[in-house]
Amino acid sequence: MQRLLSTTLLLVPFLLHAQARHSVSGTVRDAASGETLIGASILLLEQPRSAVLSNSFGFYSLNAPPGTYKLIVSFTGYLNDTVAVSLDRDLTLNVQLNGAGGQLQEVVVTGNKNNNNVTKPLMGVQKLSVTEIRDIPVIFGEKDIMKTIQLLPGVQAAGDGNSGFYVRGGSIDQNLILLDGATVYDPSHLLGFFSVFNSDAIKDVTLYKGAIPADYGGRLSSVLDVKMNDGNSKDYSASGGIGLIDSRLTLEGPIQKDDGSFIVSARRTYADLFLKLSKDTNTNKSSLYFYDLNAKANYRLGSKDHLYLSGYFGQDHLGFSNSFDLTYGNTTATLRWNHILNSRLFSNTSLIYSKYNYTIGINSGSNDIGINSYIKDLHFKEDLEYFISQGNKVNFGVDVIDHTISPGVISASGTSSFNPLNIPNKHALESALYISHDLSPTDKININYGVRAGLFTVLGPGTFYRYDSSGNAIDSSVYSSGKTVINYFNLEPRFSMSYKLTGSSSVKMAYARTTQNLHLLSNSTSSNPTDVWIPSSNNVKPEVADQVSLGYYRNLKGNDYELSAEVYYRDMQNQIDYKNGAQLIANTTVESQLVYGKGRAYGLELYARKKVGKLTGWISYTLSRTERQIAGINDDSWYPATQDRTHNLSVVGIYKLNKKWTLSADFVYYTGNAVTWPSGKYQVDGQIAYLYTERNGYRMPAYNRLDFSATLQGRKTKKTDSYWIFSCYNVYGRENPYSISFEQDPGDASKTQAIQYSLFRWVPSISYNFKF
């Protein structure tokens, strides 16, 4: 690995001296709104290998020997633009693309005819634009990117009533979820019924599950990179939606025409208003809602600099009578400065703040208790992109995050049953240097390789314990403020490569090592707002994963159809599990409650997508296995992880009936979770206790569901738009098990029985959406 790093570093100066070429660079935007377009394809017709994609800020740069060329810019759902360029010097060329016919549905019809999926080396990458997900049915009619990505291959839903997802056998906390670069620690609202991402404020979503690029780090399984809209820089507009559960409103417009814009988007649910109508005094004093706010502003300072400021604030509130309330939410803020150092060197500097906190208040007469907890990041990131020559690019940068975790502060009055308690904050510094290089040594081969060198520093102040095998503290060391407790250094090589077999087919392979130093402690069936994050420490080692994957990609009928097959194998070290009866909340010695082990996951993912025509959609199928080996569990042998699902099938179909109606449906089927059920019972103190013989030895019944949705397009002009969405979740009312509980039969004291609980049957919804 050391060698790969030094080779890369040696290569850089050589590459920087590529000569006698001129570059053309600029920003690609939507002609109507001025929004930058991420991932647009730019190429010189006479130099087919010159193709590049615009970066996260719409910037592109490519270069070629002096001459006259035709520059072609294309992007999903937009008309191609061709510009004649005369490369006798370095040029700046900003491009504005017009939407295809201006009709969203027709976007899908016109489609993206490029074959980036075949030619780019990155594998295990899925990109979705918000327009693509509009027609996919979801629960409560609220389009939701978190639910939509769960229909993609290799991504598994955690289940009904849960926004969490598993990627290639990883657990929920092993996904890095970013909103404009800021970590979102809990991406769910209302305990998972909704995600925090308001799709009106979202521009682009990319999920990396295989070859994670070197500029991302910190989680084991995947990166979900969500980017917010910049706002319309041409004109003011308002858009929104009214649904049964919530309403949304977005305002956007120019700060200065073409040079700056803003967008503010807000949502609130109002299901709890019905509680107020209740006659029951406990119920009508209860509350249950969330709201969130996305805001972003950007301003261009001259031709080389661009500033972006964006933020998110969301809060959930659950309260019962006057005796219990829980408030939780995320706050993020991102300040970014894009600077074009020269036509080949693009710099992005980010200052990011991110916080997740929860507060619980319990009040019952004189017995009261309040619990506060948070995790807070201050994050600096510098990314540089150097466009060397055609197909030849270097990304490098530095990434430093200061983490502060407050595991819990308990406040209680003098008459409370509880003592006030302040569990000391935990501090850690997560820093990394990365470099990656894209190159295409021949017409057929594209390579991306790189390395991320990460250092995780656990800092004082604090008392750090060591534990014996039964979890008793055997000694402790006290560290003063800022003192280093332990350093973990990890080198993470990343490599991916594509080999073009024909113009429309390729094979790709990838290897990636990832590490994770923040761990979410959760021992319930699904994630809770009160789950605790802990950093690596003297006891908790960094989680490490190595993944290899291999894939075959084939486009048919001029890229109208995309087919792919990928196989992967992932090995995971230092995985965390919990002791029997582990006490995770407000525990100063929480690390004594943990046990460690290994994981492995492997599988085959098949994906077929039809991108154009009246009928569009995809089929995704995953055949996989996910296993764990934890000391002391199942005689130390490998056993299926909870999320081990042999089969996982999603089918999504969108049919454009006519100019007014679009119909869509999705079908989901997957093998039930591996679960622990009793293999007998016995009596303790006159009560029935259940006898367990092994962890995860049984299977939940298979999950399946069909959803349906119909979109009625209202009158649409260049400026205004409106549409209705009618949908039904779980059309045939399948009672998918949420949990199965073992209980005494209330009707017959001599028997025990298994009770299956299900959440959703037939959830119909209507929403009205507008823009003017």
Partner 1 sequence: MKRSFIFFGLSAVLFLSCQKTVKLSLNTAPPQLVIEGQVTNTPGPYTVTISRSVAFYADNDFPGVSGASVLISDGQGVTDSLTETSTGSYTTHVLQGKPGNTYTLSVRLNDTTYTAESTMPQPVALDSVTFDNAIGGNSLRAQVYFQDPPDVKNYYQFILFINGSQFTKDYFVFDDRLSDGRYITQKLQMDSSYLSAGQQLKVNLQCIDLNVYNYFNQLAQATSTGAFNTTAAPANPSTNISNGAYGYFSAHTISSQTVTVH
Per-residue contact flags (x/-) with partner 1 for residues 217 to 246, judged by CB under 8 A:
------------------------------
The yes or no reply on residue 155 touching partner 1 (CB under 8 A) is no
CB atoms within 10 A of CB 208: 23
For 192-207, letters b (16+ CB in 10 Å) and e give bbbbbbbbbbbbbbbb
Residues in 258-287 at the binding interface with partner 1, rule: CB under 8 A: 271-272, 274-275, 282-283, 286
- The smaller minimum CB distance to partner 1, of residues 140 and 216, is found at 140
Q: Which of 432, 486, 494, 493 is nearest to 460 (CA)?
A: 486
Interface with partner 1 (CB under 8 A), residue from 84, 685, 715, 717 = 685
Between CA 260 and CA 306 the distance in angstroms is 9
- The smaller minimum CB distance to partner 1, of residues 252 and 325, is found at 325
Q: Which of 134, 348, 379 is nearest to 241 (CA)?
A: 134
3-state secondary structure 266-308: EEEECCCHHHHCCCCHHHHCCEEEEEEEEEEEEEEECCCEEEE
CA 189, 191, 192, 193: dihedral to nearest 10 degrees? -80
The yes or no reply on residue 538 touching partner 1 (CB under 8 A) is no
- The smaller minimum CB distance to partner 1, of residues 236 and 757, is found at 757
Contacts of 438 (CB under 8 A, 6+ apart): 121, 391, 392, 393, 394, 395, 446, 447, 448
To the nearest whole angstrom, how small is the minimum distance from the Cβ of residue 745 to partner 1? 8
- The smaller minimum CB distance to partner 1, of residues 108 and 641, is found at 641
Contacts of 523 (CB under 8 A, 6+ apart): 578, 582, 584
CB atoms within 10 A of CB 729: 22
Q: Tokens in use for 748?
A: 């017959």
Long-range contacts, stretch 281-287, CB < 8 angstroms, 24+ apart: 281/321, 282/320, 282/321, 285/319, 285/321, 285/322, 286/319, 286/320, 286/321, 287/317, 287/318, 287/319, 287/325
The yes or no reply on residue 629 touching partner 1 (CB under 8 A) is no
The yes or no reply on residue 749 touching partner 1 (CB under 8 A) is yes
Q: Which stretch binds partner 1 (CB under 8 A): 122-130, 195-203, 682-690, 703-711?
A: 682-690
The yes or no reply on residue 326 touching partner 1 (CB under 8 A) is yes
Dihedrals phi, psi of 591, to nearest 5 degrees: -65, -20
The yes or no reply on residue 13 touching partner 1 (CB under 8 A) is no
In single-letter form, the type of residue at position 387 comes to: F
To the nearest whole angstrom, how small is the minimum distance from the Cβ of residue 547 to partner 1? 25
- The smaller minimum CB distance to partner 1, of residues 320 and 561, is found at 320
Residues in 580-599 at the binding interface with partner 1, rule: CB under 8 A: 580-581, 583, 585-587
Between CA 550 and CA 545 the distance in angstroms is 17
The yes or no reply on residue 766 touching partner 1 (CB under 8 A) is no
Interface with partner 1 (CB under 8 A), residue from 321, 372, 573, 722 = 321
To the nearest whole angstrom, how small is the minimum distance from the Cβ of residue 425 to partner 1? 19
Per-residue contact flags (x/-) with partner 1 for residues 387 to 416, judged by CB under 8 A:
-----------------------x----xx
Between CA 243 and CA 281 the distance in angstroms is 28
To the nearest whole angstrom, how small is the minimum distance from the Cβ of residue 599 to partner 1? 15
- The smaller minimum CB distance to partner 1, of residues 158 and 220, is found at 158
The yes or no reply on residue 732 touching partner 1 (CB under 8 A) is no
To the nearest whole angstrom, how small is the minimum distance from the Cβ of residue 123 to partner 1? 32
CB atoms within 10 A of CB 580: 9
The residue written with tokens 């600099």 in the block is 305
To the nearest whole angstrom, how small is the minimum distance from the Cβ of residue 629 to partner 1? 14
Residues in 639-668 at the binding interface with partner 1, rule: CB under 8 A: 642
To the nearest whole angstrom, how small is the minimum distance from the Cβ of residue 621 to partner 1? 27
- The smaller minimum CB distance to partner 1, of residues 615 and 755, is found at 755
The yes or no reply on residue 757 touching partner 1 (CB under 8 A) is yes
DSSP annotation string for 662-705 = EEEEEEEEEPPPEE---S-EEEETTEEEE---STT-EEPPPEEE
Residues in 440-499 at the binding interface with partner 1, rule: CB under 8 A: none
To the nearest whole angstrom, how small is the minimum distance from the Cβ of residue 408 to partner 1? 10
- The smaller minimum CB distance to partner 1, of residues 283 and 722, is found at 283
- Is residue 549 classed as helix, strand or coil in its secondary structure? strand
The yes or no reply on residue 86 touching partner 1 (CB under 8 A) is no
Residues in 688-707 at the binding interface with partner 1, rule: CB under 8 A: 688-693, 695-698, 701
> Could you tell me how far CA 81 lies from the centroid of its own chain?
32
The yes or no reply on residue 523 touching partner 1 (CB under 8 A) is yes
- The smaller minimum CB distance to partner 1, of residues 236 and 742, is found at 742
The yes or no reply on residue 157 touching partner 1 (CB under 8 A) is no
Peptide bond into 461 cis (omega under 30): yes
Residues in 170-199 at the binding interface with partner 1, rule: CB under 8 A: 190-191, 193
- The smaller minimum CB distance to partner 1, of residues 94 and 413, is found at 413
- Is residue 221 classed as helix, strand or coil in its secondary structure? coil
Q: Which stretch binds partner 1 (CB under 8 A): 77-85, 293-301, 504-512, 579-587?
A: 579-587
- The smaller minimum CB distance to partner 1, of residues 192 and 217, is found at 192
Between CA 735 and CA 727 the distance in angstroms is 18
Specify whether the CB–CB gap between 625 and 639 falls below 8 A: no
Interface with partner 1 (CB under 8 A), residue from 683, 715, 717, 718 = 683
- The smaller minimum CB distance to partner 1, of residues 385 and 591, is found at 591
Q: Which stretch binds partner 1 (CB under 8 A): 54-62, 206-214, 391-399, 685-693?
A: 685-693
Q: Which stretch binds partner 1 (CB under 8 A): 147-155, 386-394, 521-529, 706-714?
A: 521-529
The yes or no reply on residue 156 touching partner 1 (CB under 8 A) is no
- The smaller minimum CB distance to partner 1, of residues 83 and 754, is found at 754
Q: Which of 21, 770, 13, 7 is nearest to 391 (CA)?
A: 21
To the nearest whole angstrom, how small is the minimum distance from the Cβ of residue 687 to partner 1? 4
To the nearest whole angstrom, how small is the minimum distance from the Cβ of residue 723 to partner 1? 25
The yes or no reply on residue 320 touching partner 1 (CB under 8 A) is yes
Contacts of 721 (CB under 8 A, 6+ apart): 104, 239, 714, 770, 771, 772
- The smaller minimum CB distance to partner 1, of residues 236 and 682, is found at 682
Looking at the DSSP bridge assignments, the partners of residue 479 are 462
- The smaller minimum CB distance to partner 1, of residues 318 and 649, is found at 318
Interface with partner 1 (CB under 8 A), residue from 752, 768, 770, 771 = 752
- The footprint of partner 1 on this chain (CB under 8 A) covers a number of residues equal to 88
> Could you tell me how far CA 139 lies from the centroid of its own chain?
19
Interface with partner 1 (CB under 8 A), residue from 2, 279, 365, 715 = 365
To the nearest whole angstrom, how small is the minimum distance from the Cβ of residue 581 to partner 1? 4
The yes or no reply on residue 364 touching partner 1 (CB under 8 A) is yes
The yes or no reply on residue 315 touching partner 1 (CB under 8 A) is no
DSSP 99: B
To the nearest whole angstrom, how small is the minimum distance from the Cβ of residue 537 to partner 1? 21
To the nearest whole angstrom, how small is the minimum distance from the Cβ of residue 23 to partner 1? 55
- Is residue 218 classed as helix, strand or coil in its secondary structure? coil
DSSP 220: S
Between CA 309 and CA 181 the distance in angstroms is 12
Specify whether the CB–CB gap between 71 and 97 falls below 8 A: no
